[in-house]
Amino acid sequence: MVSPAAPPVRTRPFWAFWRRPVFVPAIRLHGVIGAFPLRGPGLALFGLERAIDRAFGVRRAPAVALIVNCPGGAPVQAALIARRIRRLAEQKRRTVLAFVEDVATSGGYWLATAADEIFVEASSIVGSIGVISAGFGFAEALARLGIERRVHTSGARKSFLDPFRPERPEDVALLAELQAEIHERFKEQVRSRRAGRLRASEEELFDGRVWTGARAVELGLADGVGEIRTVLEERYGPEVVVSVVNPPRRRFLERFGFSALASEATAAVLAMLEERAMLRRLGL
């Protein structure tokens, strides 16, 4: 019986041993967008600008990667972060590639559009190109408790959408006007950054719905299915090194299982609850 031939040994040409690794800096864009007093700057330009500058400051890097896992948040901060990324990409003549993990919806997708190409997982949740405002009304609860609320303003709309009084039609109309203006800016961002690649009507793309990553590729909201290391190795070779410029930090005592401050633990719980609330709207 003839034994099967051994697989050929893969060798590298002699010049490959002197080949420098290709470094691709990556920026983590994880969590809810906005600056929150109890937990620092969060996903806001103030908290990310050093990381963004550091990523684009890496010499000879062929690209900058964005690792996106964001359900949305403050539209202003999403616009500021995306604009800073685009400005540096143009100044440094650097390609930007976005890699969506679990979710890139609403402001999270706005962040992803800062990239020249967007890659997703087939089951990622993508889209929600719209604007939402949610709250509660407590007018009847105050009346039942016998509480009288006293508010004095100068300006007819200063107490706009006060949750402690009945909702007024003129307030709702003003809110709709504000939302429409923000929504239009969001649509302009997608139109300009995905120009020539969108393959569905604006009525379908911009009505606030979400899609899986595979469907997002079909609609032109993303460019392909793939995870960061596989895509970068295919593009820049097996020597590529992905370096995250803003990894999650742990304080000294937290490394040993202790919380440094009770306030930090509280902030972490609040952040988790807020993020979970946004993710639950997407069925995640």
Name residues whose C-beta falls within 8 Å of residue 199's C-beta, 6 or more positions apart in sequence.
Answer: 218, 219, 220
What the chain holds in terms of domains, given with CATH numbers, is: 19-129+185-280 (3.90.226.10)
Q: How far apart are CA 107 and CA 239, in angstroms?
A: 33
Query: What's the pLDDT at 237?
Result: 92
Quick check: 68 and 29 in contact, CB under 8 A?
A: yes
Name residues whose C-beta falls within 8 Å of residue 168's C-beta, 6 or more positions apart in sequence.
Answer: none
Quick check: 185 and 93 in contact, CB under 8 A?
A: no
The sign of the torsion formed by the CA atoms of 267, 271, 272, 277 equals positive
Output the DSSP codes for 225-257: E--HHHHHHHHH-TT-EEEESSPPP--TGGGGT
Burial category of 91 from C-beta neighbours within 10 Å (exposed 0-12, middle 13-18, buried 19 and up)? exposed
pLDDT in tens, the chain (284 residues): 445 555 444 444 544 445 678 999 999 999 999 876 555 556 899 999 999 999 999 989 999 999 999 999 999 999 999 999 999 999 999 999 999 999 999 999 999 999 999 999 999 999 999 887 776 777 677 677 777 777 777 777 677 677 777 777 877 788 788 888 989 999 999 999 999 999 999 999 999 999 999 999 999 999 999 999 999 999 999 989 999 999 986 544 444 554 444 444 444 455 555 555 554 544 44
Residue at token pair 């609403």: 106
Query: What's the pLDDT at 263?
Result: 42
